[in-house]
Amino acid sequence: MSDSVLRRATGVFTTRLQVLAGLLDAAETQWREKAESPEALLAARLADDMFPFPYQIVFTCNQPNQFAAWCSDATAPETDPATLDFRGLKRHVQDTVAYVAERTAGIDDRVLDRDKRIDLPGGRFISFTGHLYVDEWLLPNFYFHLVTAYDILRHHGVRIGKANYMAHLAGRVRTAKAG
């Protein structure tokens, strides 16, 4: 695969899932330092009408899982967020990274020539070209749930900031030469 749409999407999913894993590690470490269990975060949510924290993690992972399954004509793994403890959430993120790597190896952009239909509640559906499926459905949903998980952690006192969220860029940071 060259620097294709699918390679870029795979890279975004993989690096941001690694960021999410780092956020979960920070939360676990900080809560244990306070002699509290990170399990308390499982009921955390930003608003009463929003899904709680485990759902945000699973929904974040659903996008790359669905992407990888679509690319390889497979069925995406399904996980019930209510069954996961904090360690299970961390494992789910790592399993998603592995699934994406396995399922997208050798895929080329011809997959984007296929349409994707998504069934919605109430007997409705939406159809996308492959490009629109990636750009208008998968990536926006992925970032929505990733940021919501980040916000829940911040709201509940986990000391993380933009540098943690942007950790995927750490290898690109350089020091300017004086002069």
| The amino acid at 85 | D
Annotate 33-62 with b (16+ C-beta within 10 A) or e (fewer): eeeeebeebbeeebeeeeebbbbbbbbbbb
* Residue 143: per-residue pLDDT: 99
Residue ranges per domain, the chain?
A: 5-172
Mean pLDDT split into 10-residue runs, the chain, 179 residues: 80 98 98 94 97 98 97 95 97 98 91 94 97 97 99 97 95 89
* Distance separating alpha carbons of residues 105 and 115, to the nearest angstrom: 21
Q: Phi/psi class of residue 157: alpha, beta or left (left: φ > 0; alpha: ψ in -120 to 50)?
A: left
CB atoms within 10 A of CB 91: 13
pLDDT of residue 1: 40
Residue type, 89: L
Q: Which fold has domain 5-172?
A: Four Helix Bundle (Hemerythrin (Met), subunit A) (1.20.120)
pLDDT of residue 3: 67
Three-state DSSP class for residue 35: coil
Tell me, what's the pLDDT at 178?
Answer: 85
